[in-house]
Structure 1
């Protein structure tokens, strides 16, 4: 019975997230994160070639695909696999995910009308990566701190993946209220956080995932960001007992297990 209740709470959470999204027409509903891997069998690898190939595809296909809201590349910096590369796309709704793939195929034919030329380009592009990849789909959540403008230089992306616990004495209303207070007082006031995007699992390997993406200018600023979180929390809840109570209430909604990942956002390859 407890397991079924947890699944029910998960379903309620996703529906509440969807309702929040419906209130923000401009926000894309879904994020598709594809973990790819470099082709380690290549004798030579040229970073400039990679950027040139993907920039050509970006200009000729992705930028012209009205169904893709955004797209970005991220390279391994501090993760468990140095061969991995993330490709992240955002979509307005579920139907656009499939429709965008069809539209990209149409645009590719328009960009390379000659069959042999098109085949040669994609063979060259595919050689960059191994055949192994995995996909996760997340639902975007309320409370993002948006990037003020498109970055013109590489940035540091810090991902923290926590796991929802779905306590029996909890409620979506309480979590949303607590989370809103923390976002307003800590995340949005943190000068080192240039952008912040929270996402909940929608389709993939782990339905408890809560993924938070923090964009900072550098690794140095990542350290400053983390230090500043403690400072801002102390300012928001100066009374130690109140601060501990806030932490206790928030803590029951998470398992206590989390993972940390650091990637480099690649400037010039984003929509």
Structure 2
């Protein structure tokens, strides 16, 4: 991968430091995202992917789609991660209060969708049978300078996730806001292989330094093309070596150097 790749999370870290004030200016953007990391029930010997999709689609149509407190919801399947049993479920909310209200609303909608208690219990048991009891939850704050999906995907997509860690030290708001905007405007937003881009930062969970960036692409082949194109765009905007070095040095102070890469399949038919 190109060295320019290291700038992605650096800039996301810069955005975190200014996210609270910017969120107030972007009321159309959901404020929070919950990521539930679940695991397949490996003892389920009758597992069929299409049957799982049908069960989750029924729940989506009858409950999640009707829950006004949930802005978006989507599933992500393991593709290139350390754990092949992993499955992610992401939901976004317009506010912190909406997260609490969403759970209560789900209960109401479940009772409405399956008014017979036995039928409701049977469906939930069938749904739960696909998953291991083990799961974990993280809450992230959304950040500005996202590249939004222009139309709802009609087919599965590649979701490349990059996790980084912020360095809390020298720097100032004016510098990181100006630098992050300049990079987004001239690289990420112009990269035609990136169909959508969503940066997030830790709000509640196990690691307060964590940042997450999600890049949506049409195919695995577009992943390397994305990095090559980023390099082209970076070198086109910062035209000489001195300018590029200056940008990298300014950015580096906001990031501690660690990162992890993950690739998931976004399930198009199971999304709000």
TM-score normalised over the length of structure 2: 0.93
SS of match in other structure, 1:229: helix
CA distance in 2: counterparts of 1:209 and 1:14, whole angstroms:
10
Q: Which residue of 2 aligns with 1:127?
A: 129
Q: State the secondary structure of the residue aligned to 2:58.
A: helix
Match of residue 202 from structure 2: 201
- Following superposition, the deviation at residue 15 of structure 1 comes to 7.3
State which of 151, 155, 158 in structure 1 corresponds to 2:157: 155
Question: Could you say which residue in structure 1 is the equivalent of 2:61?
Answer: 59
CA distance in 2, matches of 1:210, 1:267: 25
Q: Quick check: 2:15–2:176 contact (8 Å CA) kept in 1? A: no
Mapped partners of 2:81, 2:16: distance in 1: 28
SS of 2:79's partner is strand
Do structure 1's residue 243 and structure 2's residue 248 form an aligned pair? no
Match of residue 19 from structure 2: 17
> Is residue 2:37 matched to residue 1:30?
no
SS at match of 1:226: helix
- 1:163-178 residue pairs with structure 2 within 5 A? 163-167=165-169, 169-178=170-179
Unmatched tracts of structure 2, length 5 or more: 1-13
Aligned-partner Cα distance in 1 for 2:223–2:18: 31
Tell me the equivalent position of 1:254.
255
Distance in 2, matches of 1:40 and 1:172, equals: 48
Confirm whether residue 229 of structure 1 aligns to residue 216 of structure 2.
Answer: no
- Offset at 1:218? 0.5
Number of residue pairs matched?
259
Q: What residue in structure 1 maps to residue 140 of structure 2?
A: 138
Deviation at 1:173, TM superposition (A): 2.3
Q: TM-score, normalised by structure 1?
A: 0.94
Conserved? CA contact 2:194–2:217, under 8 Å: yes
**Distance across 2 between alignment mates of 1:199 and 1:244:** 26
Closer, same or farther: CA 178–15 of 1 in aligned 2, 3 Å: closer
- Aligned match of 1:263: 264
Aligned residues: CA RMSD: 1.2
Pick closer, same or farther for the CA change 1:268–1:203 going to 2, 3 Å. same
Alignment partners' CA distance in 1, 2:58 and 2:168: 45
Q: How far did residue 257 of structure 1 move? A: 0.6
- Structure 1: runs of 5+ lacking an equivalent: 1-11
* Cα distance, 1:44 vs structure 2: 2.1
Match of 2:100? 98
Higher relative contact order at CA 8 Å, sep ≥6: structure 1 or structure 2?
2
